[in-house]
Amino acid sequence: MRRECVRASGRSLVIAVCVVGVCWSICGEAAGGAEDRESKVTASNRPMRSMRTLVLTVGQTEGDLCGSDDKAIQAGVDYLHRLGGGTLRILPGVYELRNAIYLRPRITLSGSGEQTILRKSAGMVTKLVRDSDWYEYGVEVDDPAGFAPGTGIMLRSSTGPGQWQYDVLQATITAIEGKVLFLDRMTQKNFWTQNDATAATLFPILTAEGVDDVRIENLVLDGDRDHNENINGNFAGAVFIQSCHRWRFTNVVARNYNGDGFSFQVCDDVHFDGCQSLNNADLGFHPGSGSQRPVFRRCTARGNSQGIFFCWGVSDGLVGDCSLAENSRYGISIGHRDTDNLVRNCTIERNGEVGILFRAEVGQFRCGHRNRIEGCTIRDNGTQKPGIGIDIQGATHDITVRDTRLESTTAGDQRIGIRIGEKTERVLLQGNTYEGCPIAVEDLRSSRRRPQ
What single-letter DSSP state applies at residue 431? S
Question: Is 60 exceeded by the pLDDT of residue 197?
Answer: yes
CA separation for the pair 360, 392 (Å, rounded): 8
Quick one: how far is CA 239 from the chain centroid? 4
CA separation for the pair 123, 151 (Å, rounded): 11
Residues 6+ apart with CB under 8 A from 160: none
The H or E element that residue 80 is part of is helix 70-82
Strands (E), 185-335: 198-200, 206-209, 214-222, 237-242, 247-255, 260-265, 271-273, 276-278, 283-287, 295-297, 300-302, 306-309, 318-320, 323-325, 330-334
For the domain made up of 204-443, give the CATH fold: Pectate Lyase C-like (2.160.20)
Question: Is 80 exceeded by the pLDDT of residue 447?
Answer: no
Question: Is 60 exceeded by the pLDDT of residue 168?
Answer: yes
CB 56 within 8 A of CB 88: yes
Question: Is 70 exceeded by the pLDDT of residue 11?
Answer: no
Q: Which of 66, 67, 132 has its CA nearest to residue 99?
A: 67
pLDDT of residue 43: 82
CB 407 within 8 A of CB 437: yes
CA separation for the pair 197, 69 (Å, rounded): 29
Among 18-22, 90-94, 250-254, 285-289, which stretch is predicted with the lowest mean pLDDT?
Answer: 18-22
Question: Is 80 exceeded by the pLDDT of residue 21?
Answer: no
pLDDT of residue 34: 59
CA separation for the pair 67, 69 (Å, rounded): 6
* Max Cα-Cα span within the chain: 84
CA separation for the pair 338, 289 (Å, rounded): 9
CA separation for the pair 77, 56 (Å, rounded): 9
SS3 1: coil
pLDDT of residue 40: 74
Question: Is 70 exceeded by the pLDDT of residue 285?
Answer: yes
Average pLDDT (180-193) is 96
pLDDT of residue 23: 40
User: How many residues belong to the chain?
Assistant: 452
CA separation for the pair 154, 146 (Å, rounded): 14
CA separation for the pair 216, 197 (Å, rounded): 34
Q: How confident is the model at residue 38 (pLDDT cuts 50, 70, 90)?
A: low
pLDDT of residue 6: 29
State percent of the chain over pLDDT 90.
Answer: 83
pLDDT of residue 35: 65
Model confidence over 291-336: pLDDT tens digits?
999 999 999 999 999 999 999 999 999 999 999 999 999 999 999 9
Question: Is 70 exceeded by the pLDDT of residue 30?
Answer: no
The full set of domain ranges for the chain reads: 125-200, 204-443
Q: Strands 347-349 and 107-110, how do they pair?
A: unpaired
CA separation for the pair 16, 4 (Å, rounded): 6
Strands (E), 274-313: 276-278, 283-287, 295-297, 300-302, 306-309
pLDDT of residue 386: 82
pLDDT of residue 28: 36
Edge to edge, the sheet with strand 125-127 lists 125-127, 198-200, 152-158, 166-177, 180-183, 138-140
Q: What is the DSSP string of 220-242?
A: EEE--GGGS----TTT-EEEEEE
Q: Which of 90, 30, 38, 83 has its CA nearest to residue 66?
A: 90
Model confidence over 49-63: pLDDT tens digits?
888 999 999 999 999
pLDDT of residue 70: 98
What single-letter DSSP state applies at residue 123? P
Model confidence over 374-431: pLDDT tens digits?
999 999 999 888 899 999 999 999 999 999 999 999 777 899 999 999 999 999 999 9
Q: Which of 308, 222, 301, 219 has its CA nearest to residue 257?
A: 222
